[in-house]
Amino acid sequence: MQVFFEEAIPARKGIATVSMDFTYTIPEAGMDRMGRLETENGTVYSMAQWYPRVAVLDDIKGWNIAPYLGAGEFYLDYGDYDYKITVPYDHVVVGSGALVNSKEVLTATEINRLEKASKSDESVYIINPDEVNQISKTRPRQRGTLTWHFKMENTRDVAFASSKAFVWDAARINLPSGKACLAQSVYPKEVGSQSAWGRSTAYTKASVEHYSSKWFEYPYPNAVNVASNVGGMEYPGVSFCSAQSEGARLWGVTDHEFGHNWFPMIVGSNERLYPWMDEGFNTFINYYSSKAFNDGEYPNHLIQGRKRLHAYVSKNREGIDTYPDIVSTRNLGNTAYGKPGLGMIMLREYILGPERFDFAFRSYIKDWAYKHPQPSDFFNAIENGAGEDLNWFWKGWFYGTGNIDLAISYVQPYEGNYVVVLENKGDFPMPVHLRVTYEDGTIEEKKVPVEIWQRGDRWNYVLKTDKTLKSIEIDPHKIIPDINSSNDKWPSDLYEE
Total Cβ atoms within 10 A of residue 42? 19
* DSSP per-residue codes, 464-495: --SSPEEEEEESTT--S-BS-GGGSEESGGG-
* Alpha-carbon span 219 to 237, nearest angstrom: 9
Indicate the pLDDT class of residue 496, thresholds 50, 70 and 90. very low
pLDDT, one tens digit per residue, over 328-377 is: 999 999 999 999 999 999 999 999 999 999 999 999 999 999 999 999 99
Bond before 264 cis per omega within 30 degrees: yes
CA nearest to 377, candidates 268, 462, 473: 268
* pLDDT value at 140 more than 90: no
For residue 134, count CB atoms less than 10 angstroms from its CB and return exposed for 0-12, middle for 13-18, buried for 19 or more.
Answer: exposed
Query: What is the distance of C-alpha 196 from the center of its chain?
Result: 22
* Alpha-carbon span 51 to 79, nearest angstrom: 14
Provide the residue count of the chain: 497
The sign one gets for the Cα dihedral 229, 233, 237, 241 is: positive
* Alpha-carbon span 207 to 261, nearest angstrom: 11
Q: Which residues contact 392 (CB under 8 A, 6 or more apart)?
A: 428, 429, 450
DSSP 106: S
DSSP 281: H
157-to-53, 97, 103, 205, 222 alpha-carbon distances in Å: 8, 10, 25, 22, 14
CA nearest to 405, candidates 298, 313, 338, 336: 313
Strands (E), 56-97: 57-58, 62-63, 79-88, 92-95
Instruction: Kindly list the domain boundaries of the chain, sorted by start residue.
Output: 35-268, 406-494
Total Cβ atoms within 10 A of residue 310? 9
DSSP 386: H
pLDDT, one tens digit per residue, over 241-284 is: 999 999 999 999 999 999 999 999 999 999 999 999 999 999 99
* pLDDT value at 202 more than 80: yes
* pLDDT value at 495 more than 50: no
pLDDT, one tens digit per residue, over 429-447 is: 999 999 999 999 999 999 9
* Alpha-carbon span 339 to 102, nearest angstrom: 45
Indicate the pLDDT class of residue 303, thresholds 50, 70 and 90. confident
CA nearest to 134, candidates 155, 103, 104, 165: 165
Taking residues 441-460, what's their average pLDDT?
A: 97
pLDDT number for residue 139: 82
User: What SS3 state is found at 268?
Assistant: coil
CATH architecture of 406-494: Sandwich (2.60)
* pLDDT value at 148 more than 50: yes
Report which residue type is found at 158. V
Rounded to 5°, the CA angle 412-416-421 comes to 30
Indicate the pLDDT class of residue 133, thresholds 50, 70 and 90. confident
pLDDT number for residue 493: 67
Percent above pLDDT 70 for the chain: 99
pLDDT, one tens digit per residue, over 45-69 is: 999 999 999 999 999 999 999 999 9
Report which residue type is found at 299. P
Q: Is the pTM of this model over 0.75?
A: yes
* CB of 45 closer than 8 Å to CB of 26: yes
pLDDT number for residue 138: 78
pLDDT number for residue 497: 40
Taking residues 114-121, what's their average pLDDT?
A: 98
